[in-house]
Structure 1
Amino acid sequence: MEFEAVIRARIRGLRLARGWSLDVLAARCAMSPSTLSRLETGHRRIAIDQLVPIARALGTTIDELVEVARDDDVVIKPRRNAAHGHTTWLLTREDAPNGLVVAKMRITAKTRRGSLGVHPGHEWFTVLSGTARLHLGDRVVLVEEGESAQFSTMEPHAITAPDGPVEIIVVLDREGRRTHLDA
């Protein structure tokens, strides 16, 4: 029953956030206002076939309405990797349904160590502070504060910090996550 209470609160919260009355949401999901009211207040059990039109009307998905709350810590703690000269803060869950992971990275490595990495996928990053040196095969591209870069990760690549620490926001696909964050 607590699970249903979470769903009820989400429906009511989304409705109120849009500034909609019960009548407006009821009309959008082809239900009577009294049925919707009883669903929100717990005087009627929620059926899965009712969630589909409600979710659609609210511009969300059933998955988001029924998502189980986690007890994970809400504080994002850094992961330090001294061997590769960077610290990472994961900004999305590692099991994000779309497979993309967003992370903030602080890179302190001044020179490239070892070989350039290669893996399937694409990578995107924006420099928050400092200047990043992006090694792409034989090319070296300086990416300055406020600039972004995107590239195929099938190109041998590495990001270093030639003039002191650099902080970036990076978007990685599944392969990039495995390569850069799980190494």
Structure 2
Amino acid sequence: MGAEEDVLANVGTRLRELRRASKATLAELAAETGLTASTLSRLENGKLRPTLEQLLPLARAHGVPLDDLVAAPPTGDPRIHLKPIRRFGLTIVPLTRRPGGVQAYKVVYPPAGKAATQKMQSHDGYEWFYVLNGHVRLRLGKGEGEREFELGPGEAAEFDTRTPHWIGSAGAQPAELLTLFGAQGERAHLSAPAP
């Protein structure tokens, strides 16, 4: 028996129990759902495989969620159990659980002056970040072309990580960022062309 058959196997019994608990007749339930009394009887006796078009009005009539009506299997624990990584004075929380493609992280930068290094780095990839809390300094470029930006909560930046760069807290408090990084240079989002 496949997963679909497992889910539908006891629908008839549940439909009969729900109807009897509400003391409704097949005719009364037929009038409320728009299904015939014959169809309802065959569903309750397991002689007719239920369709979504039949189950939706029955779930409404009985006042139960569709999942309860078909005894859908539980989906498991929806919580995400994050494991922070401490590296180079940063706290990095991976938010993506698959290899490859754009990866998401929450990154906490220590207060200004407590960073392990302010050494510029460059590597393949593309990065986008959004400042959740605190303020960050972003240094981009090298020599004459070096630029420095300060970003606060609600501001975002994106850049090609082959450009020499450094990011760090700009204040006395830690800075928290949501970061998207594509190691193969994938961009996190594309700007719409001007009309």
TM-score calculated relative to the size of structure 2: 0.49
CA contact (8 A) 2:88 2:116 kept: no
Secondary structure of the structure 1 residue equivalent to 2:99: coil
Alpha-carbon spacing, 1:109–1:4, altered in 2? closer, same or farther (3 Å): farther
**C-alpha distance in 1 between matches for 2:6 and 2:157:** 40
- Identity over aligned pairs, percent: 29
Report the structure number with the largest CA radius of gyration: 2
Aligned partner of 1:74 in structure 2 is 79
**C-alpha distance in 1 between matches for 2:6 and 2:122:** 44
CA contact (8 A) 2:82 2:95 kept: no
Indicate yes or no: 2:107 matched with 1:100. no
Code of the residue aligned with 1:101 in structure 2: it is Q
Over residues 94-128 of structure 1, what are the superposed CA-to-partner deviations in whole Å (9 max), with x where a residue is unaligned? 326xx111111111163461632211221000000
**CA root-mean-square deviation:** 3.8
Q: How does 1:1-183 map to 2 (within 5 A)?
A: 37=51, 74-81=79-86, 83-95=87-99, 99-108=101-110, 110=112, 111=115, 113=117, 115-137=119-141, 138-163=146-171, 164-175=173-184
**C-alpha distance in 1 between matches for 2:111 and 2:120:** 14
Over residues 22-53 of structure 1, what are the superposed CA-to-partner deviations in whole Å (9 max), with x where a residue is unaligned? xxxxxxxxxxxx99939xx9xxxxxxxxxxxx
- The count of corresponding residues between Structure 1 and Structure 2 is 121
Q: Which runs of 5+ in 1 are unaligned?
A: 9-33, 42-69, 177-183
Instruction: Please report how far the alpha carbon of residue 76 of structure 1 lies from its aligned counterpart in structure 2 after TM superposition.
Output: 2.9
Q: Which runs of 5+ in 2 are unaligned?
A: 9-47, 56-74, 186-195
**C-alpha distance in 1 between matches for 2:103 and 2:170:** 26
Code of the residue aligned with 1:103 in structure 2: it is Y
Alpha-carbon spacing, 1:35–1:107, altered in 2? closer, same or farther (3 Å): same
Secondary structure of the structure 1 residue equivalent to 2:51: helix
**C-alpha distance in 1 between matches for 2:135 and 2:156:** 11
**C-alpha distance in 1 between matches for 2:3 and 2:183:** 31
CA contact (8 A) 1:136 1:155 kept: yes
TM-score calculated relative to the size of structure 1: 0.52
